[in-house]
């Protein structure tokens, strides 16, 4: 109705985030990340209460996928719908990027059609280039180097279970991949003690370890690299793992299964962690490899709350930046 009063939604959005790209948690201050977590909690509360929150009414998110997905596609698409906007699925095979169009051209064209871009792809440099040439916010839905949307959801889950991040010990066991990298950034910036436990030859990037260590010093956290899973898990508040062979590494699967023997979250590791430790996994999980069926289905598993929180964390990212 014309002239009708429009309800003010009880959400807190940091105006400094408007128009920003979301490529890595390393690009944000602790205050900004904590602001996103607060916004995610507020949006989750509205959704659970069945209260509409059309913060992005009339806006469109272009979603570029060159890597297949379950959680990323569904959570972003549903999230945009709940925020009152529209999400447009753009397969790498369906748009001209897949036929050799320069990323810079795609960025400039999409900037004239949509209000934000989410991209899930292989090379991190492609996302950096997309953000460089786009006039609208670009969100990193995942690259081989980093996975900031997942770790923001992880931090939200940790806050829900533990009430804080400051001073907690999070132990990641497995491949020094994009998850290990972003956990180092997210944990360091929010004052956590991060332990990364990998087999020989599968360590995280030295550059990201250096940058995350600097973040940790500034925020009262720490980054430690350890080889022994039992020692790494001792007194941990959070145990975290990921698949041993990520998308695109299928041909290495057998070699990796051999290399990662013993790097599994199981009852033995849970026994040396804190009694109230929670278990996280970004999914999909290969039960019996990086995690046992008993642990992922056990009382200390927060895996499916963590998966749900992708929706709420990403809604916060979109609402704040778009």
C-beta separation of 259 from 199 below 8 A: yes
Query: DSSP letters of 43-59?
Result: HHHHHHTT----TTTT-
The residues facing 240 across adjacent strands are 172, 280
Q: Which fold has domain 150-307?
A: Rossmann fold (3.40.50)
DSSP states of 209-241: HHHHHHHHHHHT-EEEEES-HHHHHTT-SEEEE
**Is 69 annotated as belonging to a binding site?**
yes
The one-digit pLDDT tens for each residue of the chain (322 residues) are 333 334 578 899 999 999 999 999 999 999 999 999 999 999 999 999 999 999 999 999 999 999 989 999 999 999 999 999 999 999 978 888 767 899 999 999 999 999 999 999 999 999 999 999 999 999 999 999 999 999 999 999 999 999 999 999 999 999 999 999 999 999 999 999 999 999 999 999 999 999 999 999 999 999 999 999 999 999 999 999 999 987 667 778 889 999 999 999 999 999 999 999 999 999 999 999 999 999 999 999 999 999 999 999 999 999 999 9
The pTM of this model reads: 0.95
The residue to which tokens 């491949």 are assigned: 175
User: Are 15-42+53-147+310-321 and 150-307 equal in CATH topology?
Assistant: yes
Q: How far apart are CA 50 and CA 64, in angstroms?
A: 30
* 261 assigned to a ligand binding site: no
What residues are annotated to the active site?
120, 147, 150, 242, 282, 310
- List the structure tokens of 288: 């019996």
Judge whether 178 is annotated as a binding position.
yes
Question: What's the CATH fold of domain 15-42+53-147+310-321?
Answer: Rossmann fold (3.40.50)
For residue 302, the model assigns a pLDDT of 99
Domains of the chain, by residue range, sit at: 15-42+53-147+310-321, 150-307
Q: Is 71 marked as binding a ligand?
A: yes
């Amino acid at each position: 109705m014309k002239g009708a009063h429009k309800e003010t939604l009880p959400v807190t959005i940091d105006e400094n985030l408007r128009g920003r790209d979301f490529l890595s948690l390393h690009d944000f201050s602790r205050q900004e990340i904590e602001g996103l977590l607060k916004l995610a909690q507020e949006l989750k509360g509205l959704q659970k209460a069945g209260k509409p929150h059309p913060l992005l009414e009339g806006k469109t998110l272009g979603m570029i996928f060159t890597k297949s997905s379950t959680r990323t596609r569904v959570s972003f698409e549903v999230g945009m719908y709940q925020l009152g906007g529209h999400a447009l699925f753009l397969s790498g095979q369906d748009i001209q990027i897949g036929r050799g169009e320069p990323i810079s051209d795609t960025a400039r064209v999409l900037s004239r059609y949509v209000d934000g871009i989410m991209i899930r792809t292989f090379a991190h440099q492609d996302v950096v280039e997309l953000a460089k040439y786009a006039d609208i916010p670009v969100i990193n839905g995942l690259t081989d180097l980093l996975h900031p949307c997942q770790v923001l959801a992880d931090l939200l889950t940790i806050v829900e279970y533990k009430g804080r991040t400051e001073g907690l010990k999070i132990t990641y066991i497995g491949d020094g991949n994009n998850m290990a990298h972003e956990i180092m950034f997210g944990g360091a910036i929010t004052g956590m003690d991060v332990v990364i436990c990998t087999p020989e030859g599968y360590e995280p990037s030295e550059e990201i370890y250096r940058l995350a260590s600097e973040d940790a010093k500034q925020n009262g956290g720490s980054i430690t690299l350890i080889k022994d899973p039992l020692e790494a898990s001792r007194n941990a508040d959070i145990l975290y793992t990921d698949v041993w062979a990520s998308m695109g590494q299928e041909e290495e699967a057998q070699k990796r299964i051999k290399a990662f023997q013993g790097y599994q979250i199981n009852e033995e590791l849970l026994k040396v962690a804190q009694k109230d430790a929670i278990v996280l996994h970004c999914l999909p999980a290969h039960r019996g490899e990086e995690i046992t069926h008993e642990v992922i289905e056990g009382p200390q598993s927060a895996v499916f709350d963590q998966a749900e929180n992708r929706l709420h964390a990403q809604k916060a990212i979109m609402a704040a930046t778009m």
